[in-house]
Amino acid sequence: MTRRRCFAPSRARLRSDDDDDETIRRCHERSNAEKVDVITTGTARRRRPPKTIDEYIERCAPQVQPILRRVRATVAKAAPDATETVSYGMPAFTLRRILVYFAAFKHHIGLYPPVKGDAALERAIAPYAGGKGNLRFPIEQKIPYALIARIVKFRATLSR
């Protein structure tokens, strides 16, 4: 009897030639249970991305949801003509082009894309700048909603 490794994303076990297909399928279902939705036929599919900003916020941790709702309201107030959408699995606002994306992470709220072209605004966002120019607002600190509004207004003037 030869032994092969059953490679599954979160768990590996040794299996033998006499393991049937049902045993192998159950091994994969168990290991993928936390990561994917399992259809009744036994095949797996990835969790679908959210279609609305409300759906995105509902999927986030409860302690982050009020922050995301306030970021959403801040952006909507700063650019009332902007349209809400979800792009790349993140909430976004568009006005002829993407104004901003925002997303929740374990320790921060991210705001994209990078802001360039206004020296005073660049100085104001410097403490929050991430590695590629994106902004990271730590969740444990006060979120600068007024700064977010300034960023959105600046980007809205660029897209008109």
Selection from 134, 85, 83, 127 nearest residue 105 by Cα: 134
Q: Do residues 74 and 138 both lie within one domain?
A: yes
Say if residues 103 and 133 touch (Cβ distance below 8 Å). Answer: no
Q: Do residues 110 and 134 both lie within one domain?
A: yes
Q: Give mean pLDDT, residues 43-59.
A: 86
Q: Taken in order 97, 151, 128, 64, is the CA torsion positive or negative? A: negative
Q: Give mean pLDDT, residues 107-115.
A: 94
Of residues 39 and 67, the one with the higher pLDDT is 67
Q: Do residues 30 and 58 both lie within one domain?
A: no
pLDDT at 87: 95
Total domains in the chain come to 2
Rounded to whole angstroms, how far apart are CA atoms 142 and 118?
24
Tens-digit pLDDT profile for residues 117-145: 999 999 999 999 998 889 999 999 999 99
Domain that holds residue 18: 3-46
Global pTM value: 0.71
